[in-house]
Chain A
Amino acid sequence: MLTATAIRKSYAGVRALKGVSFDLAPGEVHALVGENGAGKSTLIKIITGAVRADDGALEVDDEAVDLARLTPARARELGIAVIYQQPALFPDLTVSENIALTLEHGGAWRRIDWRARTDRARDLLARAGAAFDPDRLAGSLSMPEQQIVEIARAIGAGARVILMDEPTASLTDREVDRLFDVVRTLRETGTGIIYISHRLDEVFTLADRVTILRDGETVMTAPRGAVTRDEVVRHMAGRELATVFPKRAVTPGAVALDVRGLTSTTAGVFDVSFTVRRGEILGLAGLVGSGRTELAELIFGLRRPDRGQILIDGQPVTIDRPADAIAAGLAYVPEDRRRHGVVLEMPIAANTSLANLAAVSRHGLVQASRERALAERFRQDLQIKASSVVANAGTLSGGNQQKVALARWLATAPAILILDEPTQGVDVGAKAEIHGVMQAMVERGMAVIMISSELPEILGMSDRIAVMREGTICAIVDRADATPERILALALARPAAEATA
């Protein structure tokens, strides 16, 4: 129903797509995988008319589409819709208003039939497999609910081709299952779905066919059963990955961080106690909303605890604000790097030194040469792909921005590093590199706390796994005893069989 042939696109001389071909059948889920920068986003933008292709052909329902004149409006008419990772809804409008905005046509002064609008919203939500109240404000919905609103909107617009760009990146495993049900429902109605994800488990669960892009070219297209996971990873990266997670050979040392009875009612964290040793990675698992990020923010002084105690190297410390935490040897790489991590308008060098300007200053003045040297060192250590350390952080890809955020905190030479979803939305290659850096850090005796929603990452990287549920740590599991089923069951507090279903 959709065929793209030999699509080419260059940005300012850089060839983003060097002749990509792709096709989609009705009722098919076709996964598109590739590292960041492989050209997935560009291909989506061309198909949806957001960006104009230099060359190539596009057919929808066996009819040629003029790529030179394809606009987002024309793409919608053709029945093409996109669901992004972060839904673009109007938070202060209701669900039915959000749905109506793109679907209702007519003059700006027409009379609105509110009942019909609400009924239609309810009907479309039902077809997307949800049953929440269309009168709720979009801002009050959870992330997957917002995605369902977007899907409902796409169904309402008569979309027969739905592109999903990293739809599960911010979802917990249970929410992912729910989204998958919706995708399967859509498939049964003959909708074609282009599914883009870094999570290969999802691809192998859901997709009928897989197309791998690398460096702007189609490497291969194959039915799901015809390729293995390792083959896909190899084709994406264009190289053999020895093991997905580095081998660990570190014996944990003395207790670096000791948290006792940390409680904050406003943050929704209750009586949390745990320890992390030097040279140890403590994985913090749990559903989104279980209080993992809030716990990290409490430890880092971004929120005030009601009670509880934090000991670093056995000494009680008072942490009222981030500056205290930094002084105590803590570092926190936050989850949403665009909003909280890097300062996009600042050069990489200034981003790297931001949390530790004293290290590159003399007599209170920042020495540009020392700052650049520091950034240059981390650029090499972390393999940050950038033209120069004076380039703005905003020009980097997601994985490289994450590395800059990491570099900033490593530059403070912390004893304890807290990483919140360190590889979310990051491509396979960069992910392995970030894991490698974590490994190098624990080998140097750093204590690491890693928050992650990805079970394989938690299981692969952690020495011990603390599972959070409803604002408290419900269990701490040793690496040897940890299985995906067990961790998931603890996070969900339901029988393991049901949780993995």
Chain B
Amino acid sequence: MIVVARHRAELSIALAIAGLGLVLAIRAPGFFVAGNLLDVLLATLPVLIAAIGATLVILAGEIDISVGSIFAVCSVTAGVLAVAGVPLPLVVLIAPLVGALLGAINGALVAWLSLPSIVVTLATMVAWRDALRWITQGAWVQGLPAGFQWLGLSQASYPVAALIVTAGLALAILRGLTQVPAGRAIYATGSNAEAARLAGIDTRRVRFWTFAAAGALAGLAALLNAARFSQIPPNTGLGLEMQVIAAVVVGGAAITGGRGSLAGTILGVVLLGMLGPALTFLGVSASWERAFQGAIILVAVGVDALRARRVTTMVPRREPARV
């Protein structure tokens, strides 16, 4: 029973996914054809990786809306380098590094200048996006070398490799968040930064590194996304920040930090990632996808708020009025 109570948020999304799967199995069994599932998987993995980064940032009590722009910069950088003949292993390494660097800029501004993260990442979101538009003049990266697609693997082995890498990464961070002191530090910082600081945690370092990690993960996501196509548009990753933040919130995390789990985020990504293709298969117009997404977010947040209210009526909490 305790297990059920502690993972109620995760369980309810799992149920929603199962419900959606059931509807699909009855109304549109075509959804479960291997080819389609593979497409959904390949499209979802990059979002999942970016969402892991968003989870870290949100748990630490911050927000990163520049993830889509970092994603685009990394995509284009990887593509340009590959076209210029840089060896593929090096490209695979550089994309996350560029992401980490851009994330570190966010992190440094938030952590050491104490700027609000929503403002910092709004600024960098616009800056990177427009810098990219200016440099590429809107041109797509074309003429990628033959090995770039599927990152040198075959079309059959790439999804397996991508899934293993993503799953390994997710598992490592999942365990790390609860069992490594650094993970605890993220939760403590997001929940009560002052208490964390007094407990000897360097909260500025925590903030810096979560942003840097989120950037690196956005770079990796960009790589896995670019590998699916033969060319790279400079406006790639537009709206990615909304997708990943939505997944984190649907996954039961508190947008104010300190509460949530990576398992919830993963389920959130799966649910929201299934939604678009599912609607297509069920014959619902694609224009409804966003509306359904919004409804899911509202339901998730609403349920959470109702539950929180039940808890807080038993534990009254007064915040001090003085600043």
Q: Give the contacts of B264-323 with A (CB-CB under 8 A).
A: 311, 313-318, 320-323
Binary interface profile of A, 46-58, with partner B (CB < 8 Å = 1, else 0)? 0000010000000
Choose the segment among A353-361, A373-381, A486-494 that binds chain B (4+ C-beta atoms closer than 8 Å). Answer: A353-361
Which of A146, A322, A350, A390 gathers most chain B CB within 10 Å? A322
* CB–CB A322/B198 < 8 A: yes
Within 8 A of B (CB), among A333-385: 334, 336, 338-346, 350, 354-355, 357-358, 361, 364-366, 368
Which residues of A lie under 8 Å from residue B178 when comparing CB positions? Answer: 366
- Name the distance in Å between B204's Cβ and chain A's nearest Cβ: 10
8 Å CB interface, A286-319 against B: 300, 302
CB distance from A164 to the nearest CB of B (A): 14
CB distance from B260 to the nearest CB of A (A): 10
Q: In whole angstroms, what is the CA distance A325 to B200 when docked?
A: 8
Determine if A91 and B321 form an interchain contact, defined as CB atoms under 8 angstroms apart.
Answer: yes
Chain A residues within an 8 Å CB radius of B201: 322, 354
Task: Tell me which of A12, A87, A341, A357 has the highest count of chain B C-beta atoms within 10 A of its own C-beta.
Answer: A357
Residues of A within 8 A of B316 (CB): 41, 45
Specify the chain B residue showing the minimal Cβ separation from A91.
B323
Taking CB atoms, residues of chain A closer than 8 Å to B179 are: 365-366, 368
Which of B181, B199, B259 interacts with A345 by CB under 8 Å? B259
CB distance from A353 to the nearest CB of B (A): 8
Question: Which B residues lie within 8 Å of A109 (CB)?
Answer: none
Is the CB–CB distance between B322 and A342 below 8 Å? Answer: no
Determine if B322 and A322 form an interchain contact, defined as CB atoms under 8 angstroms apart. no
Give bound CA distance, A146 to B318, whole Å. 16
Q: Is B180 an interface residue (CB 8 A)?
A: yes
Q: A174 an interface residue at 8 Å Cβ cutoff?
A: no
Q: Which residue of B lies closest to A334 (CB)?
A: B198
Q: State A301–B194 Cα separation when bound (angstroms).
A: 14
Are A366 and B321 in contact, CB atoms less than 8 angstroms apart? no
Whether, in the assembled complex, B192 has its beta carbon less than 8 Å from a beta carbon of chain A, the answer is: yes
Convert B1-18 into 0s and 1s, putting 1 for each residue whose CB lies closer than 8 angstroms to a CB of A: 010001000000000000
Q: Given the complex, which residues of B lie within 8 Å of A322, measured CB to CB?
A: 197-201
For residue A321, CB closer than 8 A to chain B, the reply is yes
Stretch at the interface among B21-29, B183-191, B207-215: B183-191
A89 contacts the other chain (CB 8 A): yes
In the complex, what distance in Å separates the CA atom of A45 from the CA atom of B323?
26
Task: Please state if B323 and A365 are interface contacts (CB–CB under 8 Å).
Answer: no
Measured CB to CB, the closest approach of chain A to B1, in angstroms, equals: 12
Binary B-proximity of A455-477 (CB < 8 A = 1, otherwise 0): 00000000000000000000000
Could you tell me the distance between the alpha carbons of A394 and B258 in the complex, rounded to whole angstroms?
A: 13
Is there contact, CB below 8 Å, between B323 and A340? no
Return the CB mask of B170-184 against A: 1 if under 8 Å, else 0: 000001001111001
Q: Taking the complex as formed, is B130 at the interface, i.e. its CB lies under 8 A from any CB of chain A?
A: no
B198 touching A358, Cβ below 8 Å: no
A88 touches B198 (CB 8 A): no
Contact between B322 and A146, CB atoms less than 8 A apart: yes
B180: chain A residues within 8 A (beta carbon): 364-366
Interface presence of A67 (CB below 8 A): no
Residue interface bits A189-202, CB-to-B below 8 A is 1, else 0: 00000000000000
- Is B322 a contact of A346 with CB atoms below 8 Å? no
Q: A340 contacts which of B187, B188, B194 (Cβ < 8 Å)?
A: B194
Find chain B residues with CB under 8 A from A114 CB.
none
A131 at the interface (CB under 8 A from B): no
Among A336, A355, A368, A394, point to the contact of B315 (Cβ < 8 A).
Answer: A394
Which A-chain residue is minimally distant from B260 (CB atoms)? A345
Nearest-neighbor residue (CB-CB) of A396 within chain B: B315
Q: Is residue B39 contacting chain A, with contact meaning CB distance below 8 A?
A: no
Nearest CB in chain A to that of B189: its residue: A343
Decide: B181 and A340 in contact? CB cutoff 8 A: no
| Contact indicator A340/B191 (Cβ below 8 Å) | no
* A345 B198 Cβ-Cβ under 8 A: no
Chain B residue contacts of A238, Cβ below 8 A = none
For A357, the chain B residues whose CB sits under 8 A away are: 181, 184
- Among B198, B201, B258, the most chain A Cβ lie within 10 Å of the Cβ of B198
The interface size of chain B toward A, counting residues with CB under 8 Å, comes to 35
User: Is the Cβ of B187 less than 8 Å from the Cβ of A395?
Assistant: no
Check A11/B181 contact, CB under 8 A, given A91-B323, A336-B320, A345-B259.
Answer: no
Residues of B within 8 A of A41 (CB): 316
Of the candidates A90, A326, A341, A368, which one forms a contact with B195 in the assembled complex, judged by CB atoms under 8 Å apart? A341
In the bound complex, CA of A41 to CA of B178 (Å): 36
The residue on A at minimum CB distance from B178 is A366
List the B side residues contacting A143 at CB < 8 Å: 322
- CB atoms of A87 and B321 under 8 A apart: yes
- State whether B184 touches A323 (Cβ < 8 A): no
Instruction: Determine which of A12, A91, A146, A355 lies in contact with B199 in the assembled complex, contact meaning CB atoms within 8 Å.
Output: A355
Contacts of A342 in B (CB 8 A): 192, 195
Are A408 and B199 in touch, CB under 8 angstroms?
yes
CB of A279 to closest CB in B, whole Å:
25
Partner of A354, one of B184, B311, B318, B323: B184
User: A89 and B321: CB pair below 8 A?
Assistant: yes
- Shortest distance from the beta carbon of B171 to any chain A beta carbon, whole Å: 13
B188, A139: Cβ atoms closer than 8 Å: no
Q: A379-421: contact bitstring with B at CB < 8 Å (1 yes, 0 no)?
A: 0000000000010001100000000000010000000000000
A86 within 8 A of B: yes
* Closest chain B CB from A411 CB (angstroms): 11
B196 within 8 A of A: yes
Asked whether A321 lies within 8 Å of B199 as measured between CB atoms, the reply is: no
CA distance A302 to B200 in the complex (A): 9
Contact B200 A355 (CB under 8 A): yes
Would A358 and B181 be within 8 Å (CB), given that A326-B200, A342-B195 are in contact? yes
Interface check A84, CB cutoff 8 A:
yes
- Indicate whether A332 reaches chain B with its CB closer than 8 angstroms: yes
Query: Using Cβ atoms and an 8 Å threshold, which residues of chain A touch B313?
Result: 11, 51
Measured in the bound complex, the distance between the Cα atoms of B182 and A366 in whole Å is 10
Tell me the minimal C-beta distance from A150 to chain B in angstroms. Answer: 10
Selected contact of A343 from candidates B181, B258, B322, CB within 8 Å: B258
Chain B residues, Cβ within 8 Å of A325: 200
| The residue from A146, A361, A395 contacting B321, defined by CB atoms under 8 A apart | A146
A-B pairs, 10 with minimum CB distance? A357-B181, A322-B200, A355-B199, A345-B191, A323-B200, A86-B320, A326-B200, A366-B179, A343-B192, A88-B321
11 intermolecular pairs with C-beta atoms under 8 Å apart: A11-B314, A146-B322, A300-B198, A342-B195, A343-B187, A345-B258, A346-B187, A357-B184, A365-B179, A365-B180, A395-B314
- Since A11-B313, A90-B321, A355-B200 are in contact, a sample of 13 more A-B pairs with Cβ atoms closer than 8 Å, ordered by chain A residue number, is A146-B321, A322-B201, A334-B195, A338-B317, A339-B320, A343-B188, A345-B191, A345-B192, A361-B181, A368-B179, A390-B2, A390-B6, A395-B311
Query: Footprint of A on B, CB under 8 Å?
Result: 2, 6, 175, 178-181, 184, 187-188, 191-192, 194-202, 254, 258-259, 311, 313-318, 320-323
